Structure 1
Amino acid sequence: MDQVPDDDRQRVVQMFSLIFQAVEQVEPSLQVIIVEHADLNEQWYREAIVERWRGGMKLVPDDWPRVDQP
């Protein structure tokens, strides 16, 4: 996020911070899946990343069966 203006970056940090705080208060073991392009340089954020869907890795692989559409 180095190319993002500082005020935009700060708003993104605040948004994710709010999500982290809400989960911690409601159910600390709750899994939250967020699909986004932020790459924050915050320790708490980086520790929460499980997968980085880049370089051909996809949340839904190409070889999953597809439902025929009429």
Structure 2
Amino acid sequence: MKPNFLREVIAITVGFIVAWYAGAMFNFFPFMADDLSIRAIGFTGLLLCIVIVICTVWIIKEIRQMKDNK
């Protein structure tokens, strides 16, 4: 396993936790609802979408690098 791979995985994980904590500090601001759990679920869904996009870009980058090395 490349050390760069591990660093990126840790960065994504820490970034997710920090973003979720920041959202909790501001009452999951972009999502307005009567129940806090509904706001938390919406905010978590948003963060998961962002993580999926980041991982997709990362996978595409790795595939392109593999093609360039051949």
TM-score (norm 1): 0.38
Select the structure that is richer in helix. Answer: 2
Q: Which has the higher contact order (CA 8 A, sep 6+)?
A: 1
TM-score (norm 2): 0.38
